[in-house]
Amino acid sequence: MAGIGPSSGRRGRRGLAAEINVTPFVDVMLVLLVVFMITAPLIAKGVDVTLPKAAAGALPTPDERPLAVSVTAGGQVFIQETEIEIEELASKLFAVAGEGYNSRIFVRADQAVDYGQVMDVLTRMQQAGFRNVSLVTDPKYQLKVGQ
C-alpha cells in the first residue's frame, strides 16, 4: 500500500490555502482614520483669535503644516503658539522658516485688532523678504447675495 494515504507526499487536489485575514487591518485603519479626523483641526488651530468675516474662498492647503502668525485682540503677536515682541518678528521668522522665503505664512488677526497693527506685522514680514503671506478669515462665514 505504498503511496496511499495522507503521508504519501501528495497534497491532493486542493493544495494549501494561502489567504490573509485583512479584517483586523481594516479595523485598525478605520480607528486611525477617525482619530486623525478628530485631531487634525485641533492641531492647526493655533492661538485663539476671533477671525474677521469675509466671503473669500478657501485656499488649497499644502501637505506640510503652514507657519501661522497671530495677532490677538490685546495686541500680542504669536508665531504658532509662542508669543514674541513685534520687533523680533523678522528674526524669529528666519529662525523658524530658515531660508525658506517661499514657505507660506498665514496671518490670523483678531477682528478687534487695529488695522494699522496688522499692517505693521505685514510690513515687517515683507521687509524681511517673506512674500507668500495669506490672511485668514472665519471659514464659516458666507456672504449672501444682496448684503
Determine, yes or no, domain membership for 40.
Answer: no
- Interacting residues of 137 by C-beta distance below 8 A, sequence separation 6+: 51, 52, 53, 54, 56
| CA dist list (Å): 117 to 47, 109, 147 | 17, 9, 28
Determine, yes or no, domain membership for 36.
Answer: no
**What's the mean pLDDT in 5-12?**
55
Q: What are phi and psi of 27, to 5 degrees?
A: -60, -45
Q: What is the CATH number of the domain that holds 53?
A: 3.30.420.270
pLDDT of residue 31: 92
pLDDT of residue 37: 84
Q: Is the pLDDT of residue 29 over 80?
A: yes
Determine, yes or no, domain membership for 33.
Answer: no
pLDDT of residue 134: 83
Determine, yes or no, domain membership for 20.
Answer: no
Q: Are the C-beta atoms of residues 46 and 70 closer than 8 Å to each other?
A: yes
Determine, yes or no, domain membership for 14.
Answer: no
**What's the mean pLDDT in 119-123?**
90
Structurally, the chain folds into a number of domains equal to 1
For every residue of 44-92, DSSP letters joined together read: T--S---PPB--PPPPPPPSSPPEEEEE-TT--EEETTEEE-GGGHHHH
DSSP lists the bridge partners of residue 106 as 68, 134
Determine, yes or no, domain membership for 116.
Answer: yes
Query: What is the domain range of residue 74?
Result: 47-147
Instruction: Work out the pLDDT band at 10, boundaries 50, 70, 90.
Output: low
Q: 93-115 pLDDT, tens per residue?
A: 877 766 555 577 888 888 888 88
In three-state secondary structure terms, 110 is coil
Q: 38-93 pLDDT, tens per residue?
A: 877 666 556 676 666 666 555 555 555 678 889 998 889 998 888 889 888 888 88
Determine, yes or no, domain membership for 122.
Answer: yes
Determine, yes or no, domain membership for 24.
Answer: no
pLDDT of residue 55: 62
